[in-house]
Amino acid sequence: MSRSLNKAMIIGNLGADPEVRSTGSGTRVATLSVATSRGWTDRSGQAQEKTEWHRVVAWDKLAEICERYLKKGDRVYVEGRIEYRQWEGQDGQTRYTTEIRAREMIMLGGRGDGAPTTGRSSRGEPESGSDEDYSDFSSEALMGEDDLPF
């Protein structure tokens, strides 16, 4: 049997809070809308930008993490596989969708500015006089290893 690869990796911003629901059997499912953008200069020298929207679906524990920690505007890295689905709508028409089934999600932004909050300089050394404010972390999020979103 020959091997194949179906892998998608995106870094983008959430266009809305995650939509989370439970299946009939109680499995949690989160749907994310993630925007990626690219910019270029056209032949006339005008700056151009195009945004692509990606539907991302996370299941089980990853869905719970998305529900608990993500909100509109957050910057995330998502890795998973591309899936194509089809179904029949209420009007009898066949509908199609393409989505990324998330296997891994990493939160990249910090403090709403889209930059990681590390408290370190670009060389990896602690910043002198760094006055980190961790008040936005709840004690619940710091409780145990199982509660960590990564």
Domain spans in the chain, listed from the N-terminal domain onward: 8-147
Q: Among 14-18, 52-56, 74-78, 140-144, which stretch is predicted with the lowest mean pLDDT?
A: 140-144
pLDDT tens by residue, 50-82: 999 999 999 999 999 999 999 999 999 999 999
The CATH code for residues 8-147 is 2.40.50.140
Query: How much is the CA Rg of the chain, to the nearest whole Å?
Result: 19
Q: Which two tokens mark 35?
A: 């925007």
The Cα–Cα gap between 63 and 18 comes to 9
3-state secondary structure of 67: helix
Residue 11: Cβ within 10 Å count: 13
